[in-house]
Structure 1
Amino acid sequence: MRKVCLYILIVFIWAESTSLDQLLKLPVLFEHFKEHQLKNHDVGLLEFISMHYWGHDMDDTDNDRDMQLPFKKVNINTHYLLFARLNQAPRIIAAEQTVLQTFTIYKDQYHPDPDLTSPFRPPCA
């Protein structure tokens, strides 16, 4: 029973995060195809799809109807909240790690000589 509930939950999350709701608009696609066939009997299904999705639509002033077709406007807004019920409290196991690398001692040789950078120094010959 838990697996069935898990599968149903996964399907709901997958349907919400993808654009599967656009498949519910397929009847509108076929109705609009019939409307175009009433205007022009020579329009085939592939011509209709290429006209509305890949090419230029006829100037038939039905842009509102065209925008109702599936996958013309896709808006996906998802917000996830995950609640996990744990049977046991998680345990944190501390592990000791030893570093096997030796570090060099810092040497002061990288600083410039203060006598060379002083503004008051003896004249050079």
Structure 2
Amino acid sequence: MKRILAILLICVYTFGATEACQILKFPILIEHFKQHKAEHPSMSFIDFLVIHYNGKDVIDLDYEDDQRLPFKSFENCISFTAFAVPPVYHLHSKLKIYVKVSYPAFKKQFHSSLFTKGIFQPPKLA
């Protein structure tokens, strides 16, 4: 029972906090592919994906249906992510820069209490 509850809670969290809810839109993708296949019998599934996911969106008669496809728009899914991962930029350069770091020499100075003997004296009676 605990295992089933744990799996259920993980699924609820995954669908609520990530874009995994887009997986639930795959039946819409299949139906939309069937519509295109009926109009153009020679169209393959790869051609369908290229038309709908490669490049800019073309506003045509089935634009609303295109926007309901998975990973096409994200306003129907709620994301509760607390942070955004910054993009990683890799700069490749053949120029190598060498930096020489120099540290100042540490001189340990000894200060004896004899130097302060003349300053701190007990009060003298006159």
TM superposition score category, shorter chain reference:
0.5 to 0.7
Superposition pairs of residues 50-89 of structure 1, within 5 angstroms = 50-55=50-55, 60-75=60-75, 76-78=78-80
What corresponds to 1:36 in structure 2?
36
Give, as a single letter, the amino acid of the residue that structure 1 aligns with 2:49. Answer: I
Taking a change above 3 Å as real, the CA distance of residues 49 and 3 of structure 1, as seen in their structure-2 partners, is: same
Higher relative contact order (CA 8 A, sep 6+): 2
| Partner Cα distance (1:3, 1:38) in 2 | 45
Give, as a single letter, the amino acid of the residue that structure 2 aligns with 1:16. Answer: G
What corresponds to 2:123 in structure 1?
none
Determine helix, strand or coil for the equivalent of 1:52.
Answer: helix
What corresponds to 2:23 in structure 1?
23
Taking a change above 3 Å as real, the CA distance of residues 2 and 57 of structure 1, as seen in their structure-2 partners, is: closer
Q: CA RMSD in A?
A: 3.2
| Partner Cα distance (1:56, 1:78) in 2 | 28
Determine helix, strand or coil for the equivalent of 1:72.
Answer: coil
TM-superposed CA distance for 1:34, in Å, is: 1.1
Which 5+ residue runs of structure 2 have no aligned equivalent?
83-110, 112-126
Give aligned pairs, total. Answer: 84
Give TM-score, length-normalised by structure 1. 0.53
- Indicate the larger mover: 2-11 or 49-58: 2-11
Give, as a single letter, the amino acid of the residue that structure 1 aligns with 2:31. Answer: E
Give TM-score, length-normalised by structure 2. 0.52
Give, as a single letter, the amino acid of the residue that structure 1 aligns with 2:25. Answer: K
Given that residues 18 and 80 in structure 2 are in contact (C-alpha distance below 8 angstroms), is that contact kept between their aligned partners in structure 1?
A: no
Give, as a single letter, the amino acid of the residue that structure 2 aligns with 1:29. Answer: L
Taking a change above 3 Å as real, the CA distance of residues 47 and 54 of structure 1, as seen in their structure-2 partners, is: same
What corresponds to 2:95 in structure 1?
none
Which 5+ residue runs of structure 1 have no aligned equivalent?
81-104, 106-125
